[in-house]
Structure 1
Amino acid sequence: MTYCVGLLLNQGMVCLSDTRTNAGLDNISTYRKMFTFEKPGERVITIMTAGSLSVTQTTIARLHEAMDEENATPETSIMLAPTMLKVADLVGNTLAAVRREIGEKLSMAQGASASMIVAGQRKGGGMRMFLIYPEGNYIEATDDTPFLQIGEHKYGKPILDRVVRPETTIAEGKRAVLVSMDSTLRSNLSVGMPLDLVVIEKDALRVTSTRRIEAGDEGFRAMSEAWSNALRDGFTRIEI
């Protein structure tokens, strides 16, 4: 399984993903689920993936292939697309096509499905974030719901519902996604370390911060313990 989360804040975008793809007793695999495309000063795009590894890897490979084509156009390359909406269209169409092809080979009963979060900004445009469904359609993050999740999202959603607003700072946003991930890690063994964290500040048009958090990371452990202590303390203070 997977857990990926993206925040669309006034100050910028915060994205976090795990890297576990198989959590059997003797078969645990690690694959990157966050991919960044950037031309500093012109555009930056981050894509997070969840679902069938064959579908997600093939989709990302085809997006790269289209970018590298000598005759690439705004209709084929996410790095030339005129808007982030067109980027979402390109990613959605590629994902849907790959899903159909692989699904036909495996038979749809085997669940060849995947979803993605696409976040980014191009020069002259605003920051935008989309959740791309397996069929290629999508929804967009808004002021009312300034975060998107894919994968095993239910354990990490309550904290986001309570604290994340458009005016949330980037520092607070990083704290929120890490607490959200910690809640998921504690409740579902199919989500696991290491974690990839990316921050894209508003109008920077590049990745402004990136971090790989390995198992045993002291900062993450301290944050996890502090959150657990705060929850226990809050619980003991509740009167019924």
Structure 2
Amino acid sequence: MTYCVGLRLEKGLVFMSDTRTNSGVDNISQFKKLFTWSKPGERVITMMTAGNLATTQTVVSLLDERTKAPEDRSPSILDAPSMFDVARQVGELLRDVIRTASPTGERADSTFDATIMLGGQIRGGGARLFLIYPEGNFLEASTDTPFFQIGETKYGRPIILRAFEPTMTYEQAVKLLLVSFDSTLKANLSVGLPLDLMTYQEDSFEVGHERRITAEDPYYVAISQGWGDALKSAFKALPDFHF
């Protein structure tokens, strides 16, 4: 399984993903799920993937090939005029890959399905965040829905719903995401370390902070232990039930 989160802050975007894939409890592997393409000074595009690994790797490879072959007539996300057009290109590519892989044609519930989170900024427009479904259609983050999750979302969602604020600093947002991921890691073995982190500051048109967070990372260890202790303290401080 997978867990990926993208936050739309007033200052820009924050992305975090795990790296575990599995086909049963005895077949666990590690694969990167966060990918970035950029033209410094013009655009930064980041994508996170969840679902069938063969499908998502095919999509990423085709996007890479299109950026490296300018003579190819296939559209490239590095030449798209807007983030909306990038989302449309990626959605169409995802739909076509699923259709080609499935013997019965495009089916969102097939074993070949995948979901993609896409964010970034192209000069001339603002930073944007999209959630792309297997059928190729997509949603955009808004004031009412300023973050997206894909994969194993249920365990890490409550803390984001309670604590997320668009005015957060990047440091606060990373702390929130680590709590969300730690809650998911504790509850589901199909999500695992290390975690990939990437930030993007709006109007910078440069890749921001990138980092791989391992189980030995001192800050992650402090967050994991501190959050567990804080939960126990908060639980004990609540009034007991009386029969």
Range into which the TM-score falls when normalised by the shorter chain: over 0.9
Distance 1:72 1:39 in 2: 19
Q: Deviation per CA, 1:112-150: give whole Å up to 9, x if none.
A: 100000010011210100000011101111111111000
Superposition deviation, residue 216 in structure 1: 2.3
Is the counterpart of residue 89 in structure 1 residue 121 in structure 2?
no
Q: Which residue is equivalent to 1:127?
A: 127
Superposition deviation, residue 41 in structure 1: 0.8
Q: Which residue is equivalent to 2:8?
A: 8
Gaps of 5+ in 2: none
**Aligned-pair RMSD on alpha carbons?**
1.8
Superposition deviation, residue 68 in structure 1: 1.7
Q: How many residue pairs end up in the alignment?
A: 239
Q: Which residue is equivalent to 2:116?
A: 116
Q: Which residue is equivalent to 1:71?
A: 71
Q: Deviation per CA, 1:162-197: give whole Å up to 9, x if none.
A: 111221221111111111111100000000011100
In structure 2, the CA distance between the partners of 1:194 and 1:105, relative to structure 1 (3 Å rule), is farther
Letter in 2 for 1:193: L
Is the counterpart of residue 160 in structure 1 residue 160 in structure 2?
yes
* DSSP-derived class of the 1:227 partner: helix
In structure 2, the CA distance between the partners of 1:124 and 1:106, relative to structure 1 (3 Å rule), is closer
Distance 2:23 2:182 in 1: 17
Q: Which residue is equivalent to 1:26?
A: 26
Is the counterpart of residue 207 in structure 1 residue 207 in structure 2?
yes
Aligned-residue sequence identity (percent) comes to 49
Superposition deviation, residue 63 in structure 1: 0.9
Is the counterpart of residue 41 in structure 1 residue 41 in structure 2?
yes
Distance 1:31 1:231 in 2: 32
Gaps of 5+ in 1: none
Assess if the C-alpha contact under 8 Å between 2:95 and 2:106 holds in 1. no
Letter in 1 for 2:79: L
TM-score for the superposition, normalised by structure 1: 0.94
* DSSP-derived class of the 2:77 partner: coil
Q: Which residue is equivalent to 1:136?
A: 136
Superposition deviation, residue 69 in structure 1: 1.9
TM-score for the superposition, normalised by structure 2: 0.93
Distance 2:46 2:207 in 1: 9
> After the TM superposition, which of the residue ranges 208-217 and 83-92 deviates more from structure 2?
208-217
Distance 2:194 2:227 in 1: 19
Superposition deviation, residue 71 in structure 1: 2.7
In structure 2, the CA distance between the partners of 1:28 and 1:80, relative to structure 1 (3 Å rule), is same
Assess if the C-alpha contact under 8 Å between 2:21 and 2:29 holds in 1. yes
* DSSP-derived class of the 2:103 partner: helix
Assess if the C-alpha contact under 8 Å between 2:102 and 2:112 holds in 1. yes
